[in-house]
Structure 1
Amino acid sequence: MAALMSPAVLQAEEKAPPRTWIDPDTGHRVIRLTKEPGSASLYFNINAYTPDGKQMVYSTPDKGIGLIDLTTFKERQLVAGPVGGGPGAILVGRRTPTVYFFKGSASDAKAASLWAIDARTRKQRKIADLPPRAGIFSINSDETLGVGSYIVGDGEDYNGRQAGQVASSSGHNEPEDKGAKMARRMAARLPMVVFTLDLRSGRVQNVFESTDWIDHLQFSPTDPTLLMYAHQGAWQQVEKLWTIRTDGSQQTHINPRIMRMEGSGHQWWDTRGDVIWYDLHFPFGVTSYVAGYNVKNGERIWYHYQPDEASIHFHRSSDGNLFAGDGSTAPGAQWLYLFRPELVPDKHTLGQNLIQPGQLRAERLVNMSRHDYRLEPNVNFTPDGKYVIFRSNMFGPSYVFAVEVERAKTEE
């Protein structure tokens, strides 16, 4: 006989959104993956999947770490919620099913430490204490190095954190005055250090120092010494995207500006590690592309999309055949999108080192008209390409959802 549920649990279940439905406007099945109101998927360019592609981590309402089995859709808690400021989910290793995260200290507000937990055995281990105000934001492909940054001194960070408060990569709602805080943080020109952490010895090695606002540190998913980073701030006011080796060499600006009010950002690595993709505008609200830069040969490809398909974030499937977008507040763009890329045929164009043009053909996946876009949906494909993962507050609190890439065969 099944166990009886308490009245409180029954009431919560009755109020919960449906576990699955077919979107009547698109014909695609949507699945609610998490039970807990306030749960959220990770930022779109953070690897949340175990190497076998069968499990995905997410942020629990108490800022702990949960794990979803993508074959059964069962959830379980991996790391309990915060004690003394932690934990904040970082990412899952690409070589092993290890989840890396950091914890704050209950006794020292400036201190944090990097930890790891095996998703199979749930065995935790402390890796190293971090420099004051530091966080680790990416782990390299062979899981030998972490990369992080910290502000030198007591200057105010972007989210209003004072010295010693640790950032979280779980990616919950941004503050409502985001633009003003970003402008103030950029103008402050606080001294920063970007560093690597040896995951075996705990040794910290500085990569470079800057008074620019450095953010979005991302290791290549295949090259353990290649790092991408971004200059943070209003997109048209910064030289945005760069790569660098972990020894500080080969610092390269990959998207020099060619037009006034041109802006780019929300970048991510292709699964194969050969292309960096990003959102590109000439200028904002006029002509927009999902642009790719090949780090091995410098080739570029720009896929054009329509204004009513504007998305906060885009993502590419592992096989390279599809893109997804999470929509935005642009007129008519309150949808999750599936995009099929098409190249413009080249009829022997005269010239060298030219950009390959293309366009994205859109299909709507989910009606997001009830979603409050102050919470970014952060679309990303599952490794097998069957689902697009996103988070949404369309039912009030945030939950983690998946939408099937293939249209449902029957309607409910």
Structure 2
Amino acid sequence: MRGKRLALFGLLPLLIAAAPAPKPASWIDPTTGHRIVRVDDRPGNYGLYFNYNPFTPDGKRMIYLTPEGIRVADTANWTTRLVLKEKIDRLLFVGNRAAVAYYSTSPIGNEAASTIWSVDLDTGKRRRIADLPGGRIASINADDTLLAGHRELAPPPAAIAAQGNRDPKTGSPTYAANGPDGKPLPFAVAKEQWMARRLAAGVPMEIFTIDIRTGERKTVTQSSDWLNHVLFSPSDPTLLMYCHEGPWQKVDRIWTIRTDGSQKTKVHQRTFQGEIAGHEYWAPDGRTIWYDLIQPMGVRWLASFDVRSGKRLWYRLGAGQGSYHFSSSPDNRLFSGDGNDEGKYISLFRPRADTNPRAPDTLDRDRLIAAGDLETQRLADLSKQDYTLEPNQHFTPDGQWLVYRANVEGKPAIYAVEVAKAP
């Protein structure tokens, strides 16, 4: 009998592991008629930035972070499980070729010295890739051979370094400043002032790559410009996009460069005083860069640049279509937006070509900007959202869901909204 009890206890962990995960809460959004799933509302949950890939190559799993470690959500039913129990500084992304997640550990955090790791999401096996003296890994290339990131080569002034750090409870950056009257400034104003000071500091920086197999680090480019948002093309393993960070009106923001430092190219040249562009991202095709373009008098576009052909396509944004971030569907046919204080929704946008009859026979049309507009479909009501927490929405690889983070229920949580309207 005692032997049977021991055998039963020996099986207990396996039985617990095999038990079905609890089904997440779901409901129909009364405003939009679309199904919402609350994937996870554990304190300290953290989803990836809008242009970092959280999905495995087969599209069946999505990674995210909690204080206990890395969890994965099953995109078929949105149940979740812990795959790596470890104190993690930054969860980075999933590779393009294999179900491998990348992350960093650091005793200090906030872009101090760190170690870069990978973990196989099937086996749980970890691998140490490289030690960084500082900075941040931001991207993985199309064939999973290189990582890319940026780092400061000298420390910024202490007052600047003290701002912009992540709130450990929300994962959002923190900014605080007082106005001339001594009263605290609004978040957006404090952030703008801090960014202007950080840009003016002219801190020397570099963009670098790391060989995933050997850990070798190589410099791509160095500059006293504020370098940020380093992203590999999803299809070209040696092509990087990056930005000159800072208040958008003070910088030429969007650039591309090869990993050997060649072919540095400015993506957008402003035409008007006060014209700004940013929140750039690669389309899934790996050749199209999309970005938010705002011109004077409230004229706003979702603009693109094809890095191979040089062609440009701009979609005019109408009332209620502005968003903190846009993203493209896996088939490159649709867009999503996460809204802003002028229109608080997760939205789907369908592009419409310009119907102007003069467009097809315009002189030199192939060298000119093509235009269109967007048709809006509301998916999730974010009327209670505090946008100091950015939703950072992602299409699932099958295009059937948008995953985002919100605080509409009073605390940060990860949600998924179904693109198709509920029956």
Distance 2:169 2:306 in 1: 29
Match among 383, 396, 401 for residue 369 of structure 1: 383
* Structure 1 residue aligned with 2:241: 228
Shift, 1:179, TM fit: 1.8
Secondary structure, aligned partner of 1:236 = helix
Match among 51, 56, 75 for residue 57 of structure 2: 51
Shift, 1:351, TM fit: 2.5
1:101-250 equivalence runs, <5 A: 101-105=103-107, 110-130=112-132, 132-156=133-157, 160=161, 172-175=171-174, 176=187, 177-250=190-263
Aligned pair in 2 of structure 1 residues 169, 99: CA closer, same or farther (>3 Å)?
A: farther
**Runs of 4+, deviation exceeding 6 Å:** 165-171
Distance 1:174 1:275 in 2: 29
* Structure 1 residue aligned with 2:300: 288
Residue 354 in structure 1 maps to residue 360 in structure 2: no
Shift, 1:180, TM fit: 2.2
* Structure 1 residue aligned with 2:181: none
Residue 23 in structure 1 maps to residue 16 in structure 2: no
Secondary structure, aligned partner of 1:180 = helix
Aligned pair in 2 of structure 1 residues 159, 276: CA closer, same or farther (>3 Å)?
A: farther
Q: Specify the code of the residue in structure 1 equivalent to 2:276.
A: G
Aligned pair in 2 of structure 1 residues 212, 157: CA closer, same or farther (>3 Å)?
A: farther
Match among 56, 74, 79 for residue 74 of structure 1: 79
Q: Specify the code of the residue in structure 2 equivalent to 1:69.
A: D
Shift, 1:111, TM fit: 2.5
Aligned pair in 2 of structure 1 residues 293, 214: CA closer, same or farther (>3 Å)?
A: same
Distance 2:334 2:127 in 1: 38
Deviations 1:117-149 (A, max 9, x none): 00111111101111x222211111111111111
Q: Specify the code of the residue in structure 2 equivalent to 1:193.
A: E
Contact 2:167 2:173 in 1 (8 A): no
Secondary structure, aligned partner of 1:308 = coil
Aligned pair in 2 of structure 1 residues 189, 145: CA closer, same or farther (>3 Å)?
A: same
Shift, 1:106, TM fit: 6.9
Distance 1:386 1:180 in 2: 40
Q: Specify the code of the residue in structure 2 equivalent to 1:55.
A: R
Distance 1:407 1:324 in 2: 15
CA RMSD of aligned residues (A): 2.3
Match among 264, 277, 282 for residue 251 of structure 1: 264
Secondary structure, aligned partner of 1:301 = strand
* Structure 2 residue aligned with 1:12: none
Unaligned runs of 5+ in 2: 1-23, 175-186
Contact 1:157 1:185 in 2 (8 A): no
Match among 264, 275, 280 for residue 288 of structure 2: 275
Shift, 1:65, TM fit: 2.2
Aligned pair in 2 of structure 1 residues 199, 167: CA closer, same or farther (>3 Å)?
A: farther
Shift, 1:40, TM fit: 2.7
Aligned pair in 2 of structure 1 residues 114, 168: CA closer, same or farther (>3 Å)?
A: farther
Distance 2:146 2:319 in 1: 40
Distance 2:373 2:68 in 1: 39
1:295-314 equivalence runs, <5 A: 295-314=307-326
Match among 403, 410, 416 for residue 396 of structure 1: 410
Shift, 1:22, TM fit: 0.8
Unaligned runs of 5+ in 1: 1-17
* Structure 2 residue aligned with 1:326: 338
Aligned pair in 2 of structure 1 residues 363, 166: CA closer, same or farther (>3 Å)?
A: closer
Contact 2:25 2:37 in 1 (8 A): yes
Contact 1:212 1:231 in 2 (8 A): yes
Distance 1:201 1:24 in 2: 53
Shift, 1:103, TM fit: 1.0
Asked which structure has the greater CA Rg, the reply is 2
How many corresponding residue pairs?
381
Distance 1:370 1:72 in 2: 26
Shift, 1:63, TM fit: 7.3
Distance 1:157 1:95 in 2: 41
Distance 1:374 1:151 in 2: 26
